[in-house]
């Protein structure tokens, strides 16, 4: 079980649900040691007093904020809570929005919320209410030393708190040179039709467990080979293009569709399901609404 990061409560209206916050993300990054190329010895880091040049012990280091040139206010661990005790102990829901109204690129880091003592009933009630309404709670929460805006939503019986990027943290895309329309990009109706068919033929269920960082495995294999003296030659660089080439997308799409049809493409075995999805596309919205209504009736 991951280490508890935070203990407090979810608050919306006058409802108060005691919860604990846990990290939902685990990164398996490779760890590298910095070496001195001259003698291959590890390079260490020292915390040094810039005035005396002497090393400073970790227990003697304190965080400080420079409020004026050369003038600091020191902050101990408890000071970050004392600045606003309630904010550091509350997932404060300020409103509920439609689940699909938040652009995916705003999502940042996921956390799990679990009920604390006497919190089970409120936790289950909020989780089910979000599930039934299809809405997401928008909340403010302090994690470590920073306040975040976050989305609260149910997933597999658990409430997930996903921090969001602030609007002013997103770079504006208005200066990018992108085609304004299919017409300006000279895309033909035939190419659109074939592209849609290819997407449908490559349609698949989202199964995150099937994806793995294969580059990490390749890098470990390379490291093992290099340690054993099996050094590969430098990879050949691709020849630089001599100018902008006119790409025949119609031919590329035809070849891609043919490959999928033969079973050579990544969507082998899914053509029948894709065809069925295309035929039922016009009824998708109605079916979704009917399913949600049925779910509500069963739950009630």
Of the ranges 54-63, 115-124, 265-274, 283-292, which one carries the lowest mean pLDDT score? 283-292
Indicate whether 143 pLDDT > 90.
Answer: no
Indicate whether 261 pLDDT > 50.
Answer: yes
Q: Do 121 and 18 fall within a single domain?
A: yes
pLDDT at 86: 64
- Residue 49 located in a structural domain: no
Indicate whether 126 pLDDT > 90.
Answer: yes
Indicate whether 292 pLDDT > 50.
Answer: no
Mean pLDDT of the chain: 82
- Other C-beta atoms closer than 10 Å to the C-beta of 290 total 11
pLDDT at 105: 94
Give the whole-angstrom CA distance, residue 249 versus residue 152. Answer: 42
Mean pLDDT, residues 256-262: 85
Q: How confident is the model at residue 149 (pLDDT cuts 50, 70, 90)?
A: very high
Give the whole-angstrom CA distance, residue 233 versus residue 157. Answer: 51
pLDDT at 83: 72
Q: Do 200 and 116 fall within a single domain?
A: no
Give the whole-angstrom CA distance, residue 87 versus residue 84. Answer: 5
Q: How confident is the model at residue 272 (pLDDT cuts 50, 70, 90)?
A: very low
Of the ranges 63-72, 145-154, 180-189, 278-287, which one carries the lowest mean pLDDT score? 278-287
pLDDT at 245: 64
pLDDT at 67: 86
Higher pLDDT, 269 or 264: 264
Give the whole-angstrom CA distance, residue 19 versus residue 112. Answer: 10
pLDDT tens per residue across span 193-216: 999 999 898 888 989 888 888 888
pLDDT at 84: 66
Q: Do 271 and 150 fall within a single domain?
A: no
pTM: 0.68
**Domain-terminating residue out of 125, 145, 169:** 169
Q: Do 114 and 198 fall within a single domain?
A: no
Question: Do 160 and 111 touch, CB atoms closer than 8 A?
Answer: yes
CATH number of the domain that 95 lies in?
2.40.290.10
Q: How confident is the model at residue 281 (pLDDT cuts 50, 70, 90)?
A: very low
pLDDT at 229: 85
Range of the domain at 102: 6-26+82-169
Q: Do 150 and 11 fall within a single domain?
A: yes
Q: Do 145 and 275 fall within a single domain?
A: no
Q: Do 197 and 107 fall within a single domain?
A: no
pLDDT tens per residue across span 153-184: 999 999 999 999 999 999 988 888 999 999 99
pLDDT at 1: 66
- Residue 77 located in a structural domain: no
* The total number of structural domains that make up the chain: 2
Q: How confident is the model at residue 95 (pLDDT cuts 50, 70, 90)?
A: very high
**Domain-terminating residue out of 169, 197, 231:** 169
pLDDT at 119: 92
pLDDT tens per residue across span 10-61: 999 888 899 999 999 887 778 888 888 999 899 888 899 989 989 999 889 9
Q: Do 99 and 141 fall within a single domain?
A: yes
Q: How confident is the model at residue 244 (pLDDT cuts 50, 70, 90)?
A: low
Q: Which residue, among 188, 187, 194, 189, has the nearest Cα to 256 in the 3D structure? A: 194
Give the whole-angstrom CA distance, residue 93 versus residue 70. Answer: 40
Q: Do 200 and 159 fall within a single domain?
A: no
Question: Do 23 and 5 touch, CB atoms closer than 8 A?
Answer: yes
Greatest Cα pair distance, the chain, in angstroms, is 76
Indicate whether 275 pLDDT > 80.
Answer: no
Give the whole-angstrom CA distance, residue 129 versus residue 299. Answer: 11
């Amino acid at each position: 079980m991951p280490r508890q990061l935070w203990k407090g409560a979810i608050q919306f209206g006058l409802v108060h649900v005691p919860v604990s916050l846990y990290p939902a993300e685990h990164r398996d990054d490779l760890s590298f040691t910095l070496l001195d190329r001259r003698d291959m010895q590890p390079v260490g880091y020292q915390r040094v007093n810039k005035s005396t040049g002497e090393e400073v012990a970790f227990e003697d280091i304190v965080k400080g904020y420079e409020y004026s040139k050369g003038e600091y206010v020191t902050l101990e661990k408890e000071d970050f809570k004392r600045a606003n005790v309630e904010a550091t102990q509350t997932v404060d829901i300020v409103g509920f929005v439609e689940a699909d109204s938040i652009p995916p690129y705003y999502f940042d880091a996921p956390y799990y919320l679990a009920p604390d003592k006497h919190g089970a009933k409120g936790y289950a009630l909020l989780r089910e209410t979000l599930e039934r309404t299809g809405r997401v709670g928008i909340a403010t929460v302090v994690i470590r030393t920073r306040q975040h805006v976050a989305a609260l939503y149910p997933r597999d019986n658990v409430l997930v708190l996903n921090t969001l990027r602030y609007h002013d943290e997103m770079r504006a895309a208005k200066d990018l040179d992108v085609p304004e329309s299919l017409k300006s990009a000279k895309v033909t109706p035939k190419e659109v039709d074939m592209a849609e068919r290819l997407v449908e033929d490559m349609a698949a269920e989202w199964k995150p467990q099937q994806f793995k960082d294969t580059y990490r495995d390749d890098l470990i294999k390379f490291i093992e080979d290099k340690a054993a003296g099996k050094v590969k030659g430098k990879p050949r660089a691709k020849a630089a293009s001599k100018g902008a080439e006119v790409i025949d997308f119609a031919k590329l799409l035809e070849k891609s569709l043919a490959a999928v049809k033969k079973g050579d493409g990544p969507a082998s075995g899914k053509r029948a399901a894709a065809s069925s999805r295309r035929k039922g596309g016009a009824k998708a919205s109605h079916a979704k609404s009917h399913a949600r209504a049925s779910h509500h009736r069963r739950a009630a």
